[in-house]
Amino acid sequence: MSTPMSVLRRIQERPSLTMILGTGAATLSLLLASIVGAIYVGSQEAPEQEVASANTGDEGGLDFDGSADTLPEGAIVQADGSVIAADGTLIAPPGSRTPVPGRAPGTTPGTAAARPGAAASPGNRTGVSPTTIKWGLHAPVTFDGQPVNLAEDALEGARIYTDTLNAAGGINGRKIELRVADDRYTVAGGRQAANELINDYKAFFVSGTLGVDQVFQVAAEARKQGVPYIAGGGSESIFKDIRMFQVAGSYDTHLELLAKFLGAESRKPSGQSPYAGLTKVGVSMLDSPYIAPSVDVTFRRALKENGLELVAIVKVQKPTEQTTYASQIQTLRDAGTQIFVPAQDPITTGREVAECQSQRCPWTYSFSNFAHEGNTALQLMGGQWIGVKGLAGGCYYQNPNEGNAALCGQLKRAHEEWVRQSGEFEWNKDGQGGLAGYQLVHIWTKALQDAGPDPTRERFTAALLAYRGYDNLVSAPITFAGSDNLSHGYEKGVVYQAGASEYSQVNPGFTDQF
């Protein structure tokens, strides 16, 4: 059975399914800090990193009390007092050097940036001009050419928040030039998007939205060519080695949180939860090697630890390749599934729900991201998800706690910036999915600011690697500093409950306790 035409028509007219950062990660809808004096920078803790190749004053090198006036050629002093070499290596930790009064952070005596006409310091400046920095972003603008745009709201948000950034002067005097490539939600499309953004457009850095198979293709090419890459989702056991900076939460994190949530719900007295007394979980999963470990290993273990059991995993193809799911539904039935969890796109889930409506499937549903927490995604469920509970990466976009950063991050600021650019009506219509754009933009703004007036890919990467508890996001904070697993991401979620066509938020905000 195919997706109802009335719903497909709405998607084509206003394609606004919540973005899956990864094939699914974050609301954010998954899915980040600011220009000095223009956009708020969250409470970034000073990273406690080991000093690499640093000389002390006794050896005639850097005088870390700030009294020395010379630095290695091309080195820069960050706003926090740390010193980064021309190749991006951290050579002195935060607080090591006092910036010279009157000189902007990121410039030091003897550097090309501080000495007009001097030779450029070492480093890769591909995508940087005197006035612009090129940002490449790939997304399923189409499904292999079909106009069903899951990422449309997220892309709208990315444009809105980029425009806000540029209107405030850009970063260190340069405007952000955004190019979006259609990855067509296919592996071949992912390779094509990588070629367009990295080889043709020559972006300084690249970001991905939803579609884990496509994310992997672009990430692999970016790593091969030394291009900084930021995206969401993925199984940590695979993605931790591909050098992708996580913009959201990994699949492992989402499924671990969901297991804790369902365990707590299962233990509630009858009548107090739709999951009371239910312990047998079945998963419908996109047939992807970049999802499988999170489901078969992480989720299985986490469910067992929380008193539940993974009784069946069925694999499905992408919605351009599969339209009926009778055999998968029968397998889940035979296993005694009581709770159905989708680890796939919401188009596929909507089709399965439609088939189950006529077959009277015996289970209830739950979810943790994979783009299911958007209102347009909910409409694909045809009114069959009323009362369903699940987890999202960030607070619902219309929320009385939007001003409480501890509960909802920078939701209030994201709301205000959207309204200044596009108006309250557009926020009410598209803000839920559009919030992903705030995450996509603000994950890198502080790092680009800290890379200084002469940005190189090496300095930008080093600045990202300094993030510790970074919180100018609409998700819970993210840390890269000191981590050997850059794909981990945030560690808390928010509980949503489905109505007929809109979600509501059940708990106050970010939590990992249920």
Tell me how far apart the alpha carbons of residues 89 and 295 are, in angstroms, rounded to a whole number: 37
Mean pLDDT computed over 256-285: 97
Mean pLDDT computed over 398-406: 95
Tell me the per-residue pLDDT of 410-426, one tens digit each, with 9 for 90 and over: 999 999 999 999 999 99
Tell me how far apart the alpha carbons of residues 228 and 249 are, in angstroms, rounded to a whole number: 18
Mean pLDDT computed over 348-352: 96
Contact in structure between 206 and 227 (CB atoms under 8 Å): yes
Strand order in the sheet with 309-316: 309-316, 280-286, 339-343, 364-368, 389-392, 494-498, 503-505
| pLDDT interval class at 199 (50, 70, 90) | very high
pLDDT (0 to 100) of residue 25: 37
Mean pLDDT computed over 332-342: 98
Q: Is the pLDDT of residue 489 over 50?
A: yes
Mean pLDDT computed over 334-363: 96
Contact in structure between 487 and 386 (CB atoms under 8 Å): no
Tell me how far apart the alpha carbons of residues 363 and 306 are, in angstroms, rounded to a whole number: 19
Tell me how far apart the alpha carbons of residues 494 and 502 are, in angstroms, rounded to a whole number: 16
Q: Is the pLDDT of residue 266 over 80?
A: yes
How much of the chain, in percent, has pLDDT values that exceed 70? 76
Mean pLDDT computed over 465-470: 97
Tokens describing residue 123? 């480093």
Question: DSSP secondary structure string, 317-370?
Answer: --TTT----HHHHHHHHHTT-SEEEEES-HHHHHHHHHHHHHHT---EEEEE-T
Tell me how far apart the alpha carbons of residues 395 and 373 are, in angstroms, rounded to a whole number: 10
Mean pLDDT computed over 5-9: 36
CA distances to 127, 196, 325 from 290, rounded to whole Å, are 30, 23, 22
Q: What is the pTM of this model?
A: 0.79
Q: What secondary structure letter does DSSP report for 104?
A: P
Tokens describing residue 503? 């979600």
Tell me the per-residue pLDDT of 82-112, one tens digit each, with 9 for 90 and over: 666 555 555 665 555 554 343 344 443 333 3
Residue type, 393: G
Per DSSP bridges, beta strands 132-139 and 90-92 are unpaired
CA distances to 148, 323, 354, 380, 440 from 9, rounded to whole Å, are 9, 17, 17, 11, 28
Q: Is the pLDDT of residue 20 over 60?
A: no
Tell me how far apart the alpha carbons of residues 207 and 135 are, in angstroms, rounded to a whole number: 8
C-alpha triplet 394, 27, 461: angle, nearest 5°:
90
Q: Is the pLDDT of residue 247 over 60?
A: yes
Mean pLDDT computed over 27-50: 31
